[in-house]
Amino acid sequence: MLSKICTLLIALCMASPLMAQQKVSYSLSFPNAVHHEAEISVTFSGITTDTLKVLMSRSSPGRYALHEFAKNVYNVKANDSQGKALKTPKATPQQWNITGHNGTATITYTLFGDHADGTYAGIDQTHAHLNMPATLMYAKGFEKVAATVAFNTPEGSNWKIATQLKHEQGNTYSAPHFQYLMDSPTELSNFDTAEWTIRDKGKEKTIQVTLHHNGTKEQFNEYVQKTKQIVAEQRAVFGELPDYDFGRYTFIGCYMPQASGDGMEHRNSTIVTSSQPLAKAMTGLLNTVSHEYFHSWNVERIRPKSLEPFNFQQANMSESLWLAEGFTSYYGDVIMPRSGVINAKAYAEGLAGDLNYVLLSPGRRYHSLVEMSQQAPFVDAARSVDAVNRHNTFVSYYPYGAMLGLALDLTLRQNYNKTLDDYMQALWRKYGQPEKPYTLTNLQETLAEVSGDKAWADNVFQDFVNGSHLPDYTPLLAQAGFELRKAKPGVATLGHPGLEFTKNGATITTGTTVTDPIYKAGLDRTDIILTLDGRKIRKEKDLEKVLKSHKPGDAIPVTYSSHGASKNATITLAEVPLLEIALYENIGKELTPAMQQFRNNWIGSKVKE
């Protein structure tokens, strides 16, 4: 036994110098940016195995589906430290096995990137927009090794570098380990930039805004000022900012015509993208800023155990996205009126949209809120070539979780003299600050502690989280002088399928919904409505005329073509189920001082002047 221990100690002593010499160095250049290509090299030093297994990621932090980033990599070559060419056979679609090295191997490859969003890479003559899992190869055995990244900007480009990576010198940055590297998106462009410093809990913390856009300086300044207001209100929710690893948080924005709309959270940064300019979409873009910044507390540090550690070779499933994403959506929205970016009426309109989606979607009859969260690998920017039935079976955990957050916030205020802010602060103290991943049981226990009512907390998780129920929102919203009511009482509908009108009829372009009259009558996608109540349906106005001549409950004949066969059916019309939220003061109802105070406490500013 003693002999075995001595042998092990000797082996460890011999291995430690090799471990100390392990290095990872990347270099990125963009000689063919106009055609969306980057030339990338990575050197792994101190290799301790005969075979170096080099991979491209299949998933990305903040996304839960597979994306197969290796599909955009080609011209893969390898050399040892003496320049000797090494073979690069593929072991899997995303893994290359490098043998014959001398302890060091340099891999070079070309990356194609033409999709600037929070998940992929977008490269052209105006910028290099890089999500690292879509950009950088990595090697097994080097996950805990620090990495340097040198960005070689095109000559004369005026590109600057926006990233949460640690700045070393010049255009060279570093990451302490693989997980941080993969979590560090980077934008290289001639962007506008602004920053400010906040004294928080005795520490100086810098907030930086970088924005690649075509707007004016005045529009950028307005964007920065409103972002400051959002940051201040979110800080008030938790009472403090997170401790950013290098003292800085960076908003990395790209609002260019070639960008795709997205927002993606990261530990010390967020990347927000849109094809819409500031002049046209300022408020919506800021709403994404609000959502993503709240993530720097909720999911980056208040983090579900089911996402730790993040697996870059598999889809990542969690039962808690209703809180990680849903509650973040709730706060992303409610911070907008709190920060003065929108007023109460605009907030109520947005809230009505979410409530309509959640309350009227049939998906809750199939899955609980937990199960909706677990559907993320199938829906979170996932790709599917076959038709799916998600319009009937799925309710997004974003608005669904947000509406649970709304219900809890209003109930805590009504019955317990507490708020959802108190709940989030408790989660921050218990799990966020110490960065201790939570479980569903932890969330339930904390709600019981904050409310002081274990039975209520248990029922919330039984009925709303692990079940599919939701409370009555009408009395909850009435506390703030918000009236939830029917938007179109007495108006008839056959449902809301996608319709394409031609001289041949109205083709149903989407799957029909199980709660709609048209579904119950047996019509589905690709069917062509020929006549309704004896009238030919060739234009939208034809349909409108028929519906206006009837009331909910009327049964009317329909003729349609299904897979080439003519068919007849009867549709029993329903009432348009849409809801709206009206402010009491706008509909002639009394807004009492108590209601006004409740509203102020809920969606008014929390920042102390």
Looking from the CA of 465 toward its CB, the CA atoms found within 13 Å total 21
* pLDDT tens digits along 116-164: 999 999 999 999 999 999 999 999 999 999 999 999 999 999 999 999 9
Across the range 568-581, mean pLDDT stands at 98
CA distance 291 to 270: 10
How much is the mean pLDDT over the chain? 96
Q: Which residues contact 122 (CB under 8 A, 6 or more apart)?
A: 36, 113, 114, 115, 116, 128, 129, 254, 258, 259
Task: Give pLDDT, residue 383.
Answer: 83
SS3 call for 324 = helix
The shares of helix, strand and coil residues in the chain, as percent rounded to the nearest 5, are 35, 25, 35
Please answer whether residues 267 and 274 qualify as being in contact, where contact means their C-beta atoms are separated by less than 8 angstroms.
Answer: no
* pLDDT tens digits along 319-344: 999 999 999 999 999 999 999 999 99
Instruction: Please report which confidence band the pLDDT of residue 1 belongs to, taking 50, 70 and 90 as the band edges.
Output: very low
CA distance 134 to 117: 11
CA distance 114 to 123: 6
pTM flag (> 0.85): yes
* pLDDT tens digits along 160-200: 999 999 999 999 999 999 999 999 999 999 999 999 999 99
Task: Give pLDDT, residue 384.
Answer: 84
The answer, yes or no, to whether residue 20 has pLDDT greater than 50, is: no
Please answer whether residues 413 and 598 qualify as being in contact, where contact means their C-beta atoms are separated by less than 8 angstroms.
Answer: yes
DSSP-derived secondary structure letter, 310: P
Instruction: Give the per-residue SS3 of 461-515.
Output: HHHHHCCCCCCCHHHHHHCCCEEEEECCCCCEECCCCCEEEECCEEEECCCCCCC
- Tokens 């129920």: give the residue: 469
Task: Give pLDDT, residue 226.
Answer: 98
Task: Give pLDDT, residue 465.
Answer: 98
The answer, yes or no, to whether residue 576 has pLDDT greater than 60, is: yes
* pLDDT tens digits along 27-44: 999 999 999 999 999 999
CA distances to 52, 64, 163, 231, 398 from 67, rounded to whole Å, are: 23, 9, 22, 32, 21
* pLDDT tens digits along 315-325: 999 999 999 99
Across the range 209-214, mean pLDDT stands at 98
CA distance 372 to 396: 7
- Tokens 């029922």: give the residue: 459
One-character DSSP codes across 41-68: EEEEES--SSSEEEE--S--TT--S---
β-bridge partners, 167: 173
SS3 call for 309 = coil
Task: Give pLDDT, residue 15.
Answer: 43
Task: Give pLDDT, residue 608.
Answer: 79
* pLDDT tens digits along 307-316: 999 999 999 9
The answer, yes or no, to whether residue 275 has pLDDT greater than 70, is: yes
Task: Give pLDDT, residue 609.
Answer: 62
DSSP-derived secondary structure letter, 386: S
Q: Which residues contact 18 (CB under 8 A, 6 or more apart)?
A: 46, 48
The answer, yes or no, to whether residue 263 has pLDDT greater than 80, is: yes
* pLDDT tens digits along 465-506: 999 999 999 999 999 999 999 999 999 999 999 999 999 999
- Tokens 């950088």: give the residue: 136
